Structure 1
């Protein structure tokens, strides 16, 4: 039977920064899995969770958790690295763990990225792909299907000292040749991806924008934080006042008046 350790241990030796875990005596046939490749920018880490459900027509249920064994979930992880990194995962499309025939339903990602030295200076975003029943005779995806995910930092101030905090937002971006491709729109047909590769490329936008509208004003030298009703106003909407602003602090503690350059 497959265990969490086994599936995590299927990460290829070429993956950067992954701890290899031991495998059980079971094996997964090449045609019963797909290869997931993730390309991450510097300062990123990723956790993956493959979720399985009973095969269509089966009356059984997903077996309950037993110890560290999760029949309906398989876990994958790529640790944070200060450099750009690429990870390879072998993801089973089916499982018979616990005696119930299971099929892959979703593969969800939890992406973390650091924006400062403190352990709290981390943004998190969630994304993923879903699968459905289908036929291997349906229009087939290419041997390597590339999916683009663009991430962007959204900044705001938090707390009485108005420290800069950032929220990470990631969205799918279709390449021109994918604009009308049904393979990348909606759930992917499971049978089409047997023995194939899905490559997910994460990028980070160069420009950061405010998390909430009408709270910052953009000038040539950068963004200024609106005063609001007072220095203590935690929301501080501009409401047409584009002349009164208040200072804030960078994550490293610097006192600043403009973001991201700090000083004008």
Structure 2
């Protein structure tokens, strides 16, 4: 009986020890990363690139790329969706690929948005987040929970048929007392949300090429209908038609007809 009870006790102790070790290992793994939550408007897709540099004080360099292996980078992707969507990425704060201790330096976004049915009717812009070492002073800087990125369509005409083309512009919205770079140590095991929004109003890509009327924007004629620049130069009476991304011939944007 004694030996059986003793053996049972050993098994239970080992099980408890393994459970404690597993929980500790899981906790350590969580502290080595953070969750990046990205909210996207309808029609958007993103590619993310986390870039790493040698930890402060290290004399090693980021190992060179070998085939598809990028020791200093990690890639993320969220495909285009016609509905609003939310992406969750687990981003490591440290890496030791190639034997060099690395830390997260930046997370870059490639943002794509579709504005028409054609395959190439896509606007693209780039934005990102910077990270830095913990401040040397004793004051603790609390990282923001949410970052805002405001996007807007800028329209123009291109080619001899004056086809409408759009350019996507995404800019960071600076919050009061928000740091330019986030201290990576303060993000361990936490979540950071990046919200992309799309402005309702579209604006001309280049100044003095369109004039706004109550019914919409009209494209200035310029020197002639073939003038690729078509600056207004004070002429507010002569305009030229253009072709919308869906193929319609129009005279006012975005309503098409006056």
- Normalised by the size of structure 2, how large is the TM-score? 0.86
Unmatched runs of 5 consecutive residues or more in structure 1: 1-25
Superposition deviation, residue 200 in structure 1: 0.3
| 1:206 paired residue among 200, 205, 210 | 200
1:230 equivalent in alignment to 2:224: yes
Find out whether 1:251 has 2:245 as its counterpart: yes
What is aligned with 2:29?
A: 29
Counterpart CA distance in 2 for 1:75 and 1:141 is 27
Structure label with greater radius of gyration: 2
In structure 2, list runs of 5 or more residues that go unmatched.
1-24
Q: Is the 8 A contact 1:141 1:193 kept in 2?
A: no
- 2:126 equivalent to 1:129: no
CA contact (8 A) 1:34 1:93 kept: yes
Q: Are residue 66 (structure 1) and residue 63 (structure 2) matched?
A: no
Q: Is the 8 A contact 1:135 1:191 kept in 2?
A: no
Shift of 1:141: 2.5
Alpha-carbon distance between aligned partners in 2 of 1:217 and 1:34, rounded to the nearest angstrom: 47
Structure 1 residue 263 and structure 2 residue 257: aligned? yes
How do residues 16-95 of structure 1 correspond to structure 2 at under 5 angstroms?
29-95=29-95
2:142 equivalent in structure 1: 141
Equivalent pairs counted in the alignment come to 232
Superposition map of 1:163-202 within 5 A: 163-174=163-174, 178-179=175-176, 181=177, 184-202=178-196
Partner of 2:9: none
Give the alignment's Cα RMSD to 1 decimal: 1.6
Give the whole-Å Cα distance in 2 for the aligned partners of 1:245 and 1:135: 57
Question: SS at 1:164's partner residue?
Answer: strand
Partners of 2:192 and 2:56 in 1: how far apart? 24
What SS class does the counterpart of residue 52 from structure 1 fall into? strand
Tell whether 2:108 aligns with 1:114. Answer: no
The answer to which structure has the higher helix fraction is 2
Deviations 1:168-226 (A, max 9, x none): 0011124xxx31x2xx3311111111112110001100000000000000000000000
TM-score (norm 1): 0.85
Q: Distance in 2 between matches of 1:115 and 1:128?
A: 23
Following TM superposition, the consecutive aligned residue runs of length 4 or more in structure 1 with deviations greater than 2 angstroms are 135-142
